[in-house]
A and B are shown apart, each in its own frame.
Chain A
Amino acid sequence: MLRIESVHKVFNKNTPDEFIALKSLNLSVSEGEFVTVIGGNGAGKSTVFNIISGSILCDSGVVELDGTDITYMPVYKRASYVGRIFQDPMKGTAPSLTVGENLIIAYMKSMKKNNLSIPSSKEKNYIKERLADLKLGLEDRLNTKIGLLSGGQRQAVALVMATLVKPKLLLLDEHTAALDPVSAEAVMELTEKIVTENNITTLMITHNITSALDYGSRTIMMDLGEIIIDVCGEERKKLTVQELVSQYK
């Protein structure tokens, strides 16, 4: 599904601040896998996400999604295959548009609707049902400006937006880190529910080692631009939080 081959990225090349963010990184993720990504600050986790979603380009190497080379595809084009949710709840939604309008934009765009079409009541109903799945009561607040919702609610809406039409790949960039513990837990459970029910191939960066092991089917740990641990199955089940934390240094 996702194949990253010898991807290399250096920031501030040929300056005293030169920093090798990714060292000939290789990573393959198969269909339906839910990979949790951990590692210290500066390990290269976000750089991998930025390269997959296209907000930065790699110096060399290939990024392939479902057999298509997307290494140099513009962000907005690959966005129809790659859904991404950011740490900052403010980033994923347009605050002065209503909940309904935000979802409509995400839905119509991924359905490749005509630019001048107006959402039909059938499409509006579909969106309402998907919101109702969250069980947060947001389906009654379709006409509320999204800027008035809490961070957790906004992140939940962003999650629905990214998965209204099943993406080939879902990138979760510490998407619960800015939320309070209760909201973080709720959003995390919604994430798992949506991802497993729809069998969405997912990469999730987290600093919460417990969730890195509790959720998903595979865990990778990065350090200095390389993958230093890559576990799944039985081996992963045996792994403890302490063991992983000790790897941070």
Chain B
Amino acid sequence: MSLTSFIGAIELGLVYSLLAFGTYISFKILNVADLTVDGSFVLGAAASAVFTFSGNPVLGLIVAIAAGALAGTITAVLQTKMGIQPILSGILTMTGLYSVNLTVMGGKANIPLLNKTSIFTYAEQLFPGRGYKIAALFIIIAFVFAILNWFFRTQLGLSIRATGDNEEMCKASSIDTDFIKIVGFSLSNAIVALSGALVAQMQQSADVNMGAGMVVISFASIIIGSTIIKNKNITLGLLSVIIGSLIYRFIIALILTTNFPPSYLKLISSLIVITALSFPNIKKKMDVRKLERRRLHAKN
């Protein structure tokens, strides 16, 4: 692996760990696979690209966060107030967002940002050298990490964790679980949109199709992380997400150094998630088999 692809992997791992923070909230804490992510990621990228194009990259990030929060709110309202199944709610918002994203991008499928000033341009002036993107991303992630780590210890944050765990108990403890889910999903998608916004500025373009498969990529990061740090509290949980995201990007970078066709990358992401999610079940069956065989052996 060359130094360039090594640095590239760290950059991607960091920027996509924000995406994984977002889905960690919906998938791990609220216990729902939220497919809004594929749309809200692009929404963030689109908003960020439009503002960066007109010379306001920082404002682009802020608008992206707000837009992502709104997308999450819509999914949560569909789930709670309208009674639509959680998975379907996400799919509906994601599908609707495709049109919204195209509109935000002025009807174009792609916004190129070559030679535009982005937050990474500022970072380059602040931190001379090859690691300026890493430095900028590190600061942003440390900030988001600190906020989340604090938030999930507050009354509201604890209520979100409890709602994903046992909704009935929360209602019985006078927690308005509908409101809690709205807060959780909007927070989740706000962070996802921030991730998309940063990706657009870092890669100097936004594409209306760049969100495809983001849910699976983030699940892969979360799962890889959770195999490395087990039985965790919220701090370790968030840390494991960053580590998982970095490892995932190194795996991809390693694959890209071989002759393997890059078009298979999404398939590999899916396989990682399938293997990780099915592993406990398959292991259980294998253990039973082993016990059976041992007993048979003892009898003979």
Contacts and interface: CB of A to CB of B under 8 A. Distances in A.
Interface of A: 53, 74-80, 83-84, 90-97, 101-102, 104-106, 108-110, 113-119, 161
A234 to B, nearest CB: 36
A106 B173 contact: yes
Interface of B: 150-151, 153-156, 158-159, 161-162, 165-166, 168-177
A123 to B, nearest CB: 11
Contacts, number: 82
A78 B153 CA distance: 25
A74 B177 CA distance: 11
A79 B165 contact: no
Q: Which 6 A-B pairs have the closest CB atoms?
A: A79-B174, A94-B165, A115-B156, A80-B174, A94-B162, A94-B166
A53 B170 CA distance: 13
Contacts of A76: 170-171, 174-177
B155 A110 contact: no
A226 B190 CA distance: 53
B169 A94 contact: yes
Contact of B154 (A74, A110, A118): A118
A110 B174 contact: yes
A91 B176 contact: no
Contacts of A77: 174
Contacts of A78: 174
B172 A105 contact: no
A116 B155 contact: yes
A75 B173 CA distance: 9
Contacts of A110: 173-174
A105 B175 contact: yes
Contacts of B169: 91-94
B270 to A, nearest CB: 27
Contacts of B155: 104-105, 108-109, 113-119
A184 to B, nearest CB: 21
Nearest to A85: B172
B280 to A, nearest CB: 16
16 contacts: A76-B174, A76-B175, A76-B176, A84-B172, A90-B166, A92-B169, A94-B162, A95-B165, A97-B161, A101-B161, A105-B173, A106-B173, A109-B155, A109-B159, A118-B154, A161-B173
B154 A94 contact: no
B161 A79 contact: no
B70 to A, nearest CB: 20
A91 B168 contact: yes
B161 to A, nearest CB: 6
Contacts of B156: 115-116
A11 B155 CA distance: 38
B177 to A, nearest CB: 7
B165 A96 contact: yes
Contacts of B173: 79, 105-106, 109-110, 161
B154 A91 contact: no
B162 A97 contact: yes
A109 B158 CA distance: 11
Contacts of B176: 74, 76
A105 B173 CA distance: 8
B80 to A, nearest CB: 12
Contacts of B172: 53, 75, 79, 83-84, 92
Contact of A105 (B151, B158, B168, B171): B158
Contacts of B175: 76, 105, 109
Contacts of A83: 172
B29 to A, nearest CB: 10
B173 to A, nearest CB: 5
